[in-house]
Structure 1
Amino acid sequence: MQDIETQAIKNYQANIDFFKKYNEIVYNKLMALEALLEDGTFNPQYDLVYEDGYFDVVELATGAKLYGSDSLKFSKKIINNINHKKDSQSFRSLRKINFEREAFDKLKDANSYTTFANSAEIYSLYHENITPDTHMSEIDKFIFLGVGLALHLPLAIKKFDFQMVLIVEDNLELFRLSLFTIDYKEMLTGRTSYFSIADSPAEFRARFNGFYSSAFFKNMYIKFHIFSSAYEPKIEDIQSILIGRPEATYSHNRILEKNRRVLEKINEEYKFLDLQKKDNDTYFQDKPWLVLGAGPSLYNNAQWIVENQDKFIIIAAFTALNTLKRIGVKADIAVQVDENVYTTNEMIEKLGDLSFLDDTLLFFSASVSPELFNVFKKDNIYLHEDRTKYKLAKSTLTVSSVGDTIHALALIFNSPSIYLLGIDLALGSDGKSHSPDHFKARSIEETDSKDSHTGDFQLADTIIKTKGNFRDSVNTTPLFALSVPVMNHFTHIYKAPHQTIYNLSDGCYLEQTVPTHIENVTLEKSLNKQNITKELRHYFDAISTTQLDSIEIDGIYCRQGQLKDYYILLEKFQNSSQSNSDIFLSSLITLAQEMMNHECAFEMKDIMTIYYMNTTPYVDDFFHTRELQNKKKFTKKFKTVLVKNINKIVKTYDEDLHRLNLIKEGN
């Protein structure tokens, strides 16, 4: 027994040293717990015991044991349940996409602005030869959801030779006890490890995304083990993260199309706003902002808006304008970021007579549907970039929705008092997604619409619970939930100490906001709205530009150099050996990494990153399928398809860039 205790203490100290050196976040949490235990501030809930030849954990309050039997035998049973089957205990990170023959024939020859045009051949090659019931030849990435005393971790890692692991444990005290039972350094030497220990939801998202982005080409199927039913909600959390990742929600095709539209607006000399934080600006010092989205709370509080409209600068999402028009309230600023031509036309049609917007300033993403530029006066329009960087940081605001856009704008322009209404990011009590005036308002029913473990969530139709602004929890959807971390991010980077954000919506809780019932809002002073309209135009004209400056022009030349490098890299890949699948995959990953890590960090880098994250996992999993025969014959097929489509993407961007007046005039 003395030897066991000595070894346990030795393990603990070695593990503390390991985390101190390799994971400062986990180390600091452990040290904070140690301090609380030592000074008696924290009463331990668990005790580590060794009896009958094995370790166990006793819950002090009840005497219940974590394992209740031989923990070593229990751990070996866990190992026996881990297998190489793709459809067993795994997250399928990328959607299954199949095409009818007619659609496929059109897609493979379509231009690069077309969704799936550059990836359809890869997906088809994969699905024609690989089925979900096949086996992985190796398991490179693995997630442990809950660890207990972690006795199964070294056994699993040794047997399956995982190269990268994510270790998740929500109970810090329990995780601390595992430091006595195994040697983390010995177990993880030569491997890449990520830890999520007693993390908040936001912290867990960050840890998972780090794990996911590393060796991204191994993401087709990510195997996992769940230690107990307490970790079942983590499966839903991961599914939600997967469908909300940038490459899942915004394809490379869309950025190419966006890029083309932005270049057109630069050529047409539209006004681009300077969106750098206005820390020293005092114009809005005595002007509160009312930030209006189109959530259910907008409709429910319409009369209050009517009665208080003269007390605020009103900035509204375009989707909220139907309600404002109906109740006779003028928005000072209306904002639109949606690029979809069909939904834009539908929205304009429903708005009807647009003369009520004659004096409203229009803040658009430069890549919105062209129809908006046809129906509104150019002088009223102010643009910003989203995911492109032609104006460098000065005019770029990367957003997920119009709701987080109007929130960010209110913070940037430095109003000390910001009131959010209709940015519910949640369903109303009647299940409605938006204000009934919204052209896409609908009811969403609470059904079990998710696959058991493959991660096949529906962005707009799956209902999940989240913390509420007024209530403990509210119903939302993964699509709405995507905006919450974006809103919180903008608050974190733009909110100044003197700014207060009042959340008046009965929806999701937002960080650093004050939940405020609308009847508790008291503003006595009214603004002179007639003067405000003129002043706003003068203010925003003064911080807008219509030309690229010298530094921004240098960015154009950087892009041209990047394209030359990409053509060279692609030619090198095309001429590389394909004598076996391992050499081919190594050449592909080298190509992807060199393009993704190029020093010119503009649109093409993002376009290619998204493209590779959505395609290389298919290719890697294809060649690491145990049942696949005659791998060599497929290397040439994949290389031909990849070279063709990567070249199409690069050439499309190149041709669009050369439509810029600056380059045409230079030639």
Structure 2
Amino acid sequence: MNKNKELAEIQQTLEQIYLKNMNFFKSKFASLYDAIIQFQNLQLEHYSLDFTNNHFELTFLKDNVKQYGCDPFLDAQKRLKEFTFSNAFAMIQLKPLEKKRHYENEINAYEYLNEYITCFTETNITQEVQKFIFVGTLLGVHINDFHNQLRAKSYLIIEPDIEIFRLSMFMTDYETLAQNSSLYFCIAQSESQINSIVNQFLEEFQEYNHFIHYELGSQKNAHLIPKLSLLLTQFNEMRYPFSEYILSLQRGYHYFFNQNKPILDLSKEYTFLENKKVIFLGAGPSLGENIKWLEKNQKEFIIVASSAVLKQLELFLIKPDVIIILDAKKEQMIRQFDVSPSFYEKTIILASIKIDFDLYTILKHNPIFFMQNTLELFLGNGFFSGITVGDIGTGILLKLGVTKLYLLGIDAAINSKTGATYVGTHESSTQVDLSNNNTSSSIDFEKDILYVKGNFQEQVPTFIEYSEMIEQLNHTLQKADSKVNIYNLSDGAYFKNTHPTHTKDVKFTEAIDKATFYDEFTQALNTISKTRLSSLDSKNIQKERKILKKISAIKNDEHFYKNFLQLKRNFEYSIILSIINKYFNLINPYYNFFDSKKEANKIRQHQIAQLVEKLNTIYATVKEK
């Protein structure tokens, strides 16, 4: 065969593969197909696909540099031979979890996971790869070769450069890849789009989210590895596990039914705080730096304080008008109220339904209004969700109609000069070494430092957890009414739609009548509080009890999860089904990390029995009124 004829046949083959891919994308991935068409119409060309020395190479045209200068078929075999199982994002822990967020005499998620972890050995864990990520495609030949060996159930294919991906379509049969596996594409997409697609990738075959292996196309894409690691960690079920929902269910029902305490309706927006000058205090270092200013001007504001700042306020005789309490922990939260009871005697309490009962006993003589968090005990009554008291508290105040809001101590950052993390009286206050960068491949949300835009400074250091809080708060503030003015007084992170304002520049008009505010605000909150069940509430509780009976009737064996999913499909929404589903989302990757399910089944059967018994106990105490 002469050379020209051979090249013509090769070209024809490449075009056939490309057209096949285009038809496949048009049918199954319409948005990706549209993006490729749009790029083609631009008629841009930064790379060339060259046939040199009997193989294809990828060349960057601007400086004629080989982007991929080797035989892609030989390279694919080399990659497979050198592939190591250590190239993986660890979605589960292999060492027992520390006793960090523990509740006495309650189900604790970390203890459930430790039951699996302590049984892992080198001989009883799976070596199968069920989910895989290609970070950069190059010409894509290795993608099909990896699939032929791994046969994973799901692939996430990431390529930031749509032109490189388009060239891979001449040499990679993506339709064949999809015959027995699910495909997810992140091709030249925005950060929010990537987040969404990664979330979809994780949700399908969620039970195999134990170790997600990857292959790095080239060092050009190496910067994506830590970003992916962070993103995958953010979706970790242990960050807000099923056991937290059980606490909300148990304690929320107790306060409503047994203590006859109201639950605020957060499903609507109100005007109770309209035109009132409200200052919201968090425990960031900026509070301590401006405490004298606040002491002097405290009568000019309605003071809303997170419970973590009470000791600092007491030192300067600054009495809060409203206290927001969100945390479910016991000892730590009681210590926050280790101040004179007279200090918060005429203070309104806005509390999560999760707070500990011993803390409630301390506060029960105050006007206390409970709020549903994440879990809606009563549908249509609204709930709050978020990362920290800073973003959650701000969202609650906006719901209650604040139009003049001042933020102080909502730093969401570390003090860039001292390394201080909190105001001095906070029990978790420490000083971190800002020069100590994390060299570990694992992500620690509470310790790893990154830099974000500052309120007064160009950049400020913060923890990853705070960066999420910033994103959440930005999202909340972007939806705020145009009449709302928010003044950020903290030398911390910048928040969208806020005015960076130094305390010395705050203008004052007249003092606020705190006694009148106390009476009027209490009365206003009473008007939006649920104190008795509606007919819909009663029906929903009866529905939950029926579902619980059906779950209790499922045989607790290795088929329980499959039978649970069949039951779940029959109901649009259920608190109980949601909690049990959250349980499975957490433990399934651990369960499926066992090669043999004999030990795993024993653990899971015991846990399911305990979980169902707990839910039965909770609903047995619900006295409809």
- Length-normalised TM-score, structure 1: 0.82
* Structure 2 residues without counterparts, runs of 5 or longer: 1-6
Q: What is aligned with 1:92?
A: 90
C-alpha contact (below 8 Å) 1:56/1:65 kept by paired residues: yes
C-alpha contact (below 8 Å) 1:337/1:368 kept by paired residues: yes
C-alpha contact (below 8 Å) 1:417/1:501 kept by paired residues: yes
Q: What is aligned with 2:3?
A: none
Deviation at 1:24, TM superposition (A): 4.0
> Which segment is superposed worse, 282-291 or 560-569?
282-291
Query: Number of matched residues?
Result: 612
Q: Pairwise mapping of residues 295-374 of structure 1 onto structure 2 (< 5 A)?
A: 295-306=284-295, 309=298, 312-349=301-338, 352-374=339-361
Equivalent position to 2:523, from 502, 519, 538: 538
Equivalent position to 1:276, from 267, 290, 299: 267
2: CA distance, partners of 1:163 / 1:321: 52
2: CA distance, partners of 1:600 / 1:247: 22
SS for the counterpart of 1:362 is strand
Q: What is aligned with 2:120?
A: 126
C-alpha contact (below 8 Å) 1:290/1:421 kept by paired residues: yes
2: CA distance, partners of 1:182 / 1:463: 40
Work out whether 1:518 is the aligned partner of 2:502: yes
Work out whether 1:261 is the aligned partner of 2:247: no
Show CA shifts across 1:259-280 (max 9, x none).
22111101211121111231xx
Deviation at 1:5, TM superposition (A): 4.6
2: CA distance, partners of 1:470 / 1:150: 47
Work out whether 1:622 is the aligned partner of 2:597: no
Q: What is aligned with 1:627?
A: none
2: CA distance, partners of 1:54 / 1:467: 48
Equivalent position to 2:466, from 472, 480, 484: 480
Deviation at 1:67, TM superposition (A): 1.3
| 1:46/1:292 CA distance change after superposition, 3 Å | farther
Work out whether 1:18 is the aligned partner of 2:24: yes
Q: What is aligned with 2:383?
A: 396
Show CA shifts across 1:456-489 (max 9, x none).
x333223234455555544322333343443345
| 1:3/1:515 CA distance change after superposition, 3 Å | farther
2: CA distance, partners of 1:426 / 1:90: 31
| 1:468/1:216 CA distance change after superposition, 3 Å | farther
Matched AA of 2:245: I
Show CA shifts across 1:548-577 (max 9, x none).
2221121111110110121122x1x53xxx
Deviation at 1:661, TM superposition (A): 1.9
| 1:414/1:612 CA distance change after superposition, 3 Å | same
Q: What is aligned with 1:387?
A: 374
| 1:394/1:67 CA distance change after superposition, 3 Å | same
Deviation at 1:611, TM superposition (A): 2.0
2: CA distance, partners of 1:602 / 1:500: 39
Matched AA of 2:169: L
| 1:197/1:427 CA distance change after superposition, 3 Å | farther
> Which segment is superposed worse, 196-205 or 466-475?
466-475
Equivalent position to 1:140, from 120, 127, 130: 130
C-alpha contact (below 8 Å) 2:264/2:369 kept by paired residues: yes
| 1:523/1:195 CA distance change after superposition, 3 Å | farther
Equivalent position to 2:424, from 429, 432, 436: 436
Show CA shifts across 1:410-431 (max 9, x none).
2222334444332222222122
Q: What is aligned with 1:251?
A: 241
1: CA distance, partners of 2:221 / 2:485: 37
2: CA distance, partners of 1:75 / 1:505: 53
Matched AA of 2:241: S
C-alpha contact (below 8 Å) 1:562/1:598 kept by paired residues: no
C-alpha contact (below 8 Å) 1:559/1:600 kept by paired residues: no
C-alpha contact (below 8 Å) 1:312/1:527 kept by paired residues: yes
C-alpha contact (below 8 Å) 1:297/1:435 kept by paired residues: yes
| 1:659/1:228 CA distance change after superposition, 3 Å | same
| Segments ≥4 residues shifted beyond 6 Å | none
Deviation at 1:323, TM superposition (A): 3.4
1: CA distance, partners of 2:193 / 2:315: 43
C-alpha contact (below 8 Å) 2:300/2:511 kept by paired residues: yes
1: CA distance, partners of 2:109 / 2:380: 28
| 1:367/1:308 CA distance change after superposition, 3 Å | same
C-alpha contact (below 8 Å) 1:470/1:515 kept by paired residues: no
C-alpha contact (below 8 Å) 2:96/2:118 kept by paired residues: yes
Q: What is aligned with 2:450?
A: 464
| 1:598/1:313 CA distance change after superposition, 3 Å | farther
SS for the counterpart of 1:322 is helix
| 1:348/1:425 CA distance change after superposition, 3 Å | same
Q: What is aligned with 2:536?
A: 551
Percent identical residues: 23
2: CA distance, partners of 1:598 / 1:506: 52
* Structure 1 residues without counterparts, runs of 5 or longer: 575-583, 624-630
C-alpha contact (below 8 Å) 2:374/2:385 kept by paired residues: yes
> Which segment is superposed worse, 438-447 or 281-290?
281-290
Once superposed, what is the RMSD of the aligned Cα atoms?
3.2
C-alpha contact (below 8 Å) 1:426/1:477 kept by paired residues: yes
| 1:518/1:414 CA distance change after superposition, 3 Å | same
| 1:52/1:496 CA distance change after superposition, 3 Å | farther
> Which segment is superposed worse, 230-239 or 149-158?
230-239
Work out whether 1:610 is the aligned partner of 2:572: no
SS for the counterpart of 1:660 is coil
Q: What is aligned with 1:528?
A: 512
C-alpha contact (below 8 Å) 2:274/2:402 kept by paired residues: yes
SS for the counterpart of 1:74 is helix
SS for the counterpart of 1:408 is helix
2: CA distance, partners of 1:479 / 1:10: 48
Matched AA of 2:520: E
Work out whether 1:409 is the aligned partner of 2:396: yes
2: CA distance, partners of 1:172 / 1:306: 57
| 1:516/1:528 CA distance change after superposition, 3 Å | same
Q: Pairwise mapping of residues 96-107 of structure 1 onto structure 2 (< 5 A)?
A: 96-98=94-96
| 1:99/1:490 CA distance change after superposition, 3 Å | closer
Deviation at 1:184, TM superposition (A): 2.2
C-alpha contact (below 8 Å) 2:349/2:366 kept by paired residues: no
| 1:123/1:379 CA distance change after superposition, 3 Å | same
Show CA shifts across 1:275-318 (max 9, x none).
1231xx44444235433321223333435545655555443211
C-alpha contact (below 8 Å) 1:115/1:251 kept by paired residues: yes
